[in-house]
Amino acid sequence: MAATTCALSAREIIARRGVVTYFQPILSARQKAVTGLEALSRGIIGVEALSRGAIPQSDQLIPPDQLFGMANEEGIGDELERLCRETAIRTFARLENRNEDLILFLNFDGSADDQRPGAGSLLEACRRWGLPPNRVAVEILESKFADTQRLGDLLKRFRDCGFLLVLDDVGTGHSNLDRIPLIKPDILKVDRSLIRDLDQDYHKQETLKSLVHLARKIGALVVAEGIETRAEALVSLELGADLLQGFFLGRPERPGIAHVEAAGGRVAQLARDFKSYMVGKINQRKLEHRRFTIVLNEILCELSQCHVEQFDVVLAGLISKFPRVECIYVLDEAGLQVTDTVCNPDVPRRPNGVMFRPALRGADHSLKEYYYILLDVELHKYTTDPYVSLASGNVCRTLSTGFRDVGNSKLYVLCIDVLCDA
């Protein structure tokens, strides 16, 4: 947003209480509504308060970066912060037909909070406007706190007062995951830099998946922030995000009934889209498995008619028939590799990937899931989740199945690395 020319100082804006609050919805497609305004609002779990400066006798607004920049230059950033909080709480408390379960998300800059024992200015504002603290989620950007002891004391006060704690900007260089045990957040807000192009980036997907797994272990919800496309929303939900926020689902707006209805409609549509998306993914996975079975059976048919000394020649003759197969190798019953890793010459490898090299004959795979799960659970075949192959640096799955050679004397495990779609 372009900077707005403003003749007022930040001090004058504070004196006039010239701050307005916009709300951006935080949505859950898993709690979509069916009918009615109250039901529609169920899809909106909360709203984040975003402040703007108001210029008298003008429709223009001062963007938050400019507004707080002015206040910091004048040395009154803490006063502006308190005014913004109070305005947000008052505006939220006065929302017409507000669902009592709706949560207000408030950004918190620790430098603006007083140090009085017990409840501070935030609790006082909530009491003044009749807003229970457990309906307020305080967003903590912990990188602003160099003093860990002060941060811990502050968080204890918030928690003792009943506020929810949100760890903001998780996934950026500013967030220290080692502080999660200190903060014990109720909600993790994943930064938009991790969500951007999530549907196209395997590494971002695995990072989000890990953060979701962590959140489940500590009893926290995950908000995927900065959703700008349908694909980002669908993949975020697929990977386990509980809540979504971003321009695709709703821009910051003045609060009102139309705001609620529009967001509720987007929730319902996203829920339908997500159901169709997941059905499509399942059907695609079923089709992949059928293709995998064809590949496995053809290779097994050849291997089971020869002795182990001939395996390498057979695999080398077969691999070019399957363009999605990256490499093939065979293990013995103990998990030791008895063939070379036969690689497909048409499959590219990661440039400059000196650490990515095919395993050599004799390599021990006994701790790989495609070996021990297959044999110990006595499965007919096994398919791994996608992972980055140490043979090439590509994202692949490993298919494995047991078989016996032509003499039917020894058990072997056929392993096939198959490329995954980007």
pTM > 0.95: no
Angle of the 257-303 helix axis to the 311-318 helix axis, nearest 10 = 130
More confident residue, 69 or 144: 69
Instruction: For 29-83, write each residue's pLDDT tens digit.
Output: 776 433 333 434 457 889 999 999 888 777 788 888 898 888 888 888 888 888 9
The confidence score (pLDDT) of residue 37 equals 39
Domain boundaries, the chain: 10-255, 290-419
Q: Give percent of the chain with pLDDT exceeding 90.
A: 53
How many CB atoms lie under 10 A from the CB of residue 212? Answer: 21
Burial pattern 384-408, b for ≥16 Cβ within 10 A else e, equals: bebebbebbbbbbbbbbbbbebeee
Contacts of 342 (CB under 8 A, 6+ apart): 312, 315, 316, 319, 327, 328, 329
Say how far apart CA 396 and CA 384 lie, in whole Å.
9
Q: Which amino acid type is present at position 252?
A: P
Contact between residue 69 and residue 54 where contact means Cβ atoms under 8 Å apart: no
3-class DSSP state for residue 82? helix
What tokens were used for 288? 């992949």
> What is the arithmetic mean of pLDDT over 176-180?
74
Superfamily of domain 290-419, CATH level 4: PAS domain (3.30.450.20)
HEC assignment per residue over 264-327: HHHHHHHHHHHHHHHHHHHHHHHHHHHHHHHHHHHHHHHHCCCCHHHHHHHHHHHHHHCCCEEE
CATH class of 10-255: alpha beta
With 80 as the cut, is the pLDDT of residue 310 above it? yes
In angstroms and rounded to an integer, the radius of gyration of the C-alpha atoms of the chain is 28
208 pLDDT above the threshold of 90: yes
Hey, is 354 helix, strand or coil?
Answer: coil
The gap from C-alpha 264 to its chain's centroid, in whole angstroms, comes to 22
Q: Tell me the pLDDT band of 131, cut-offs 50, 70 and 90.
A: very high
* pLDDT per position as a tens digit, 91-120: 999 887 777 888 999 988 755 444 443 347
pLDDT grade, residue 176 (50/70/90)? low
The CA distances from residue 67 to 14, 56, 84, in Å, are: 11, 15, 11
User: Looking at residue 4, what is its pLDDT?
Assistant: 58
- Looking at the DSSP bridge assignments, the partners of residue 343 are 327
DSSP sequence for 38-63? HHHHHTEEEEEEEEEEEPTTSS-EE-
Strand partners, 398: 417
The pLDDT of residue 407 is 81
Q: Which of 96-110, 243-257, 265-279, 328-342 has the highest mean pLDDT?
A: 328-342
| Contact in structure between 103 and 189 (CB atoms under 8 Å) | no
* pLDDT confidence band for 8 (50 / 70 / 90): confident
